[in-house]
Amino acid sequence: MPEEEGGSSLLHVSISAEPLFTIGPLTVTNSMVGAVLASAILLFLTWVFLRRPQLVPGRIQSLIEWPIEWVAGIVQGSTSRWKGYVALVTGLFLMILVANWIGLLPGVGTVGIIAEEHGEEVLTPFVRAAGADLNFTLGLAIVSFVVFVWWGIRANGVGGYLLELVGEPRYMAPLMFPIHLISELSRLVSLSMRLFGNVFAGEVLIGTMLALTTAALFVLPLAFFVPAVFLGLELLFGAVQALVFALLTMTYITMAIAEHQGGHDEHDGDASAHHAEPTEPATA
């Protein structure tokens, strides 16, 4: 943490989002500001895209379309019902990606209000990366959890979904049901904690690099080169974490559907192969 004269600490990284102001019972934190900014950027890009869409896209339209088409292409190969959840997976990817990259903009995490805590001057940033707040990642994980459970119930029915949790053999239900239930709930925890942990670790890393750079300003080449390297890595890690969250959501939905369709797909495949055998000589 960089320190000013007198030993008062300014820049610090808090594991929880810092409150900025309150609106009635609602406390607005700096991570909420980051999430709102990410939403505003996505809405603006949507407006730009829909204002004058072209059959032969220009540079801006191609730049907007490329990540959407790329993620949609991945989802398309998952199941035959991919159209039902491609919008969710793509939306999660774009939201997390923009929210992560906002944390790397100049001024984010370094411009804010200076307050005194425990005899030290502490900076409370106006904007913070939304993914560095567990409330944000948990909210996204809850959305993913509800959706893939809904797909499991839609594919299997309520009774079928519960039977999947019971597992085989049925006489082991008293033992296996709690295990399967905990396994199902662990997806909610892993989705939220993985994203939060990686984004928060990146925030700590950037803060540490800024502190070291401030202390070594007299070495000008290092003062510019070192932060640029770590910011480039964080750009990559932010994209990877967004993709991992989105693809895990897709995988959980695919598993919920496949548990129901597996037997039917195998039966249908055998039937179609059996039906195709006598027709090959005729077509030849």
For the ranges 9-13, 208-212, 279-283, which has the lowest average pLDDT?
279-283
Token pair belonging to 219 = 């070495």
Q: Is 90 exceeded by the pLDDT of residue 119?
A: no
Write down the mean pLDDT value for the chain. Answer: 78
The structure tokens 């072209």 sit at 54
pLDDT above 70 covers a percentage of the chain that reads: 77
Contact 35, 57 (CB under 8 A): no
pLDDT for 218 equals 53
Is the four-CA dihedral 196, 241, 261, 170 of positive or negative sign?
A: negative
- Decide: helix, strand or coil at residue 23: strand
More confident residue, 123 or 44: 44
User: Residue 117 — pLDDT band, cuts 50, 70, 90?
Assistant: low
**Residue 173 one-letter amino acid:** A
Alpha-carbon dihedral sign for residues 198, 201, 206, 212: negative
Helix (H) / strand (E) element for 268: namely helix 220-276
Which pTM value belongs to this model? 0.79
Which residue type occupies 244?
A: V
pLDDT digit string, tens, across residues 216-228? 555 556 556 666 7
